[in-house]
């Protein structure tokens, strides 16, 4: 093996030497000239170029032999194998580098993904915590709202108590001192709709109330709160946008409604109707009627007494003032033919009638619809209620004196002496009525008369079916659907007991 290896190395060296000689020979041949050398022994000159060629041909013969060719071939294969191995080694190094780089990126991506997963879990947990906090805040907010409503309701109740105490042993309050009581009670009558809470501070339209957003209620004429004969006169609902109500003077009345005026028109059946849209509310001591204001956007009336917590026509027939005549018929209460006395004062009784729709006890009242005189309407209404008589004899043409004479006619002589009994008739109040039906745009006004009889039996033919009864006039007479101050005024006029 050693000899073979040495021989191969020698042959390779020889090849290298030959290749170099060939290259140099090739370069010299184009410029060559015959080569002459001097022989020192003979002193003769010789041509040596042929010897070079001869030597070269000997090397070529040697290099062309099979062993040499085999060595050269093996050497080339080895070189090629080394090159291929080198190339493969470089390729392996490249891919190893790429593999390491990819692994590093993968590791980095995994770490980033772990961080993202961790952040996602934290976000989910935070979202759950936020949801829990929102629910808690919602519960707290609901409790705050409920507490606020209870606080406002308590404040309104205290205002009612304060108003009751303030009115003790006093006559009817003046316009400037009038405060809504029944007009702010919630829910609104005949419905389950709650009134927007309004405290005494925000009753007046002059006080800004940005949060004021009451519901709109206008009951249709088919509703049970209207009697059959009233349905023809129930005015249609007007579109009211949910906006802040403000007030202005009457400068732009609606075409179909003449606010603050008396208008005469004709019904479909040909009957004339007189619609009075003026107000009886006086704004000064000289009892001069005021002019109610209109909403500056909708041009509909605004309640002169202020906010009520409900917009619309409500359970009333007309927009604006709804006028009526009310009769408070009184007598002295007796027990075993003796006047009933408490603390040295006699007790008044008033005649009331059961409302067939609500079963409440109410005073005789006639709504002014415009088809008959107001005083004729109260006489007709009382006749129907007291005697179950639908005769219209006392309708249409009665004036104030005719009404007084009508009620005086019931002051019969006593059964024993036939002496006439006394009767007192007085108009005790005319103006705004604090009523459960009042809204921001429709309200009740009334002219209230008191007919007081000295006799214990002024109406011998009074119906006996439980619809008409006598009740004591006391501070607990709220069921008569009339404000307590009016009953107190009647008791004051007659110097009667009023608890």
Q: What is the DSSP string of 131-190?
A: HHHHHHHHHHHHHHHHHHHHHHHHHHHHHHHHHHHHTTT--SPPGGG---SGGG-SSPTT
* Residues paired with 111 in a beta bridge: none
φ, ψ for residue 9 (rounded to 5)?
A: -65, -40
The answer to whether position 64 is within a domain reads no
pLDDT of residue 139: 87
The answer to whether position 220 is within a domain reads yes
Q: Which of 114, 147, 171 represents a domain boundary (last residue)?
A: 171
CA-to-CA separations, 469 to 183, 260, 351, 365, 464, in angstroms, rounded: 27, 39, 6, 16, 8
Give 343's pLDDT tier (boundaries 50, 70, 90): confident
CA distance 364 to 127: 66
Residue ranges of alpha helices (H) inside 262-394 are 374-387
Same domain, 441 and 319: yes
pLDDT of residue 255: 45
Residue ranges of alpha helices (H) inside 29-65 are 49-63
pLDDT of residue 417: 45
pLDDT of residue 164: 60
φ, ψ for residue 366 (rounded to 5)?
A: -130, 125
Same domain, 167 and 316: no
Same domain, 189 and 163: no
Same domain, 317 and 411: yes
Same domain, 138 and 194: no
pLDDT of residue 344: 87
Same domain, 132 and 267: no
Same domain, 242 and 151: no
pLDDT in tens, 308-324: 999 999 999 999 999 99
CA-to-CA separations, 272 to 114, 259, 269, 398, in angstroms, rounded: 89, 19, 9, 17
Share of the chain above pLDDT 70, in %: 72
The answer to whether position 67 is within a domain reads no
CA distance 434 to 184: 9
* Distance separating the N- and C-terminal Cα atoms of the chain: 145
Whole-number average pLDDT of the chain: 78
The answer to whether position 37 is within a domain reads no
**Range among 6-15, 90-99, 169-178, 187-196 rated most confident:** 187-196
Same domain, 264 and 349: yes
pLDDT of residue 201: 87
CA distance 387 to 230: 21
CA distance 494 to 471: 16
φ, ψ for residue 26 (rounded to 5)?
A: -65, -35
Exposed e or buried b for every residue in 215-232, given b needs 16+ CB within 10 A? Answer: bbbbbeeeeebbeeeeee
Question: How many domains, the chain?
Answer: 2
Of residues 182 and 13, the one with the higher pLDDT is 182
Average of per-residue pLDDT across 372-376: 90
| Contact indicator for 406, 458 with CB cutoff of 8 Å | no
- Strand 310-314 and strand 215-218: pairing? parallel
Same domain, 131 and 195: no
The answer to whether position 42 is within a domain reads no
- Strand 442-453 and strand 423-433: pairing? antiparallel
Going by C-alpha positions, the residue among 430, 468, 424, 474 that lies closest to residue 450 is 424
Phi-psi region of 314 (alpha: psi -120 to 50; beta: other; left: phi over 0): left
| Contact indicator for 267, 273 with CB cutoff of 8 Å | yes
Same domain, 133 and 200: no
CA distance 257 to 241: 19
> 350 by DSSP, 3-state: which?
strand
**Tokens 């590791």 — which residue?**
107
The answer to whether position 17 is within a domain reads no
Domain range for residue 139? 89-171
CATH label of the domain that carries residue 336: 3.90.79.10
The answer to whether position 94 is within a domain reads yes
pLDDT of residue 480: 59
Average of per-residue pLDDT across 97-104: 87
Same domain, 249 and 331: yes
Whether 246 has a pLDDT exceeding 50, the answer reads: no
pLDDT of residue 328: 93
Give 389's pLDDT tier (boundaries 50, 70, 90): low
The answer to whether position 334 is within a domain reads yes
Whether 205 has a pLDDT exceeding 90, the answer reads: yes
Q: Which of 171, 195, 225 represents a domain boundary (last residue)?
A: 171
Q: Which of 120, 143, 171 represents a domain boundary (last residue)?
A: 171
Same domain, 283 and 233: yes
pTM higher than 0.85: no
């Amino acid at each position: 093996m050693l000899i073979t290896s040495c021989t191969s190395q020698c042959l390779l060296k020889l090849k290298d030497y030959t290749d170099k000689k060939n290259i140099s020979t090739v370069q010299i041949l184009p410029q060559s000239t015959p080569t002459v050398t001097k022989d020192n022994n003979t002193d003769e000159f010789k041509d040596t170029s042929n010897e070079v060629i001869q030597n070269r041909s000997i090397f070529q013969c040697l290099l062309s032999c099979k062993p040499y060719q085999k060595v050269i071939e093996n050497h080339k294969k080895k070189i090629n194998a080394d090159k291929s191995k080198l190339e493969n080694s470089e390729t392996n190094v490249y891919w190893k580098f790429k593999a390491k780089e990819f692994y590093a990126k993968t590791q980095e991506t995994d770490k980033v993904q772990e961080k993202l997963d961790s952040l996602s879990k934290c976000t989910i947990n935070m979202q759950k915590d936020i949801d829990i906090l929102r629910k808690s805040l919602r519960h707290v907010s609901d409790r705050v709202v409920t507490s606020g409503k209870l606080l406002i309701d308590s404040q309104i109740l205290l205002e009612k108590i304060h108003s009751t105490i303030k009115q003790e042993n006093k006559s009817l309050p003046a316009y400037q001192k009038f405060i809504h009581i029944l007009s702010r009670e919630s829910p609104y009558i005949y419905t389950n709709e709650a009134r927007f809470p309004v405290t005494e501070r925000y009753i007046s339209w002059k006080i800004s109330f940005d949060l004021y957003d009451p519901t709109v209620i206008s009951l249709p004429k088919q509703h049970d709160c209207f009697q059959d004969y009233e349905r023809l006169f129930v005015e249609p609902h007007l579109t009211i946008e949910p906006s802040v109500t403000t007030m202005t003077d009457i400068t732009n009345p609606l075409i179909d409604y003449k606010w603050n005026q008396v208008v005469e028109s004709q019904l479909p059946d040909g009957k004339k109707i007189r619609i009075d849209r003026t107000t009886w509310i006086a704004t000064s001591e000289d009892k001069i009627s005021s002019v109610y204001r209109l909403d500056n956007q909708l041009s509909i009336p605004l309640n002169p007494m202020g906010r009520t917590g409900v917009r619309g026509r409500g359970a009333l027939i007309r927009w604006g003032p709804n006028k009526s005549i009310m009769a408070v018929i009184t007598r002295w209460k007796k027990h075993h033919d003796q006047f009933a006395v408490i603390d040295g004062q006699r007790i008044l009784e008033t005649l009331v009638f059961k409302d067939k729709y609500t079963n409440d006890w109410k005073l005789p009242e006639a709504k002014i619809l415009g088809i008959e005189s107001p005083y004729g309407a109260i006489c007709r209404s009382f006749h129907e209620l007291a005697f179950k008589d639908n005769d219209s004899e006392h309708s249409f043409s009665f004036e104030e004196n005719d009404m007084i004479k009508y009620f005086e006619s019931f002051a019969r002589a006593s059964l024993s002496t036939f002496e006439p009994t006394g009767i007192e008739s007085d108009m005790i109040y005319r103006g705004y009525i604090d009523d459960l039906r009042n809204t921001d745009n429709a309200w009740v006004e009334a002219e209230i008369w008191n007919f007081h009889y000295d006799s214990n039996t002024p109406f011998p033919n009074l119906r006996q079916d439980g619809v008409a009864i006598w009740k004591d006039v006391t501070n607990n007479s709220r069921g008569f659907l009339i404000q307590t101050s009016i009953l107190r005024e009647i008791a004051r006029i007659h110097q009667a007991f009023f608890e």
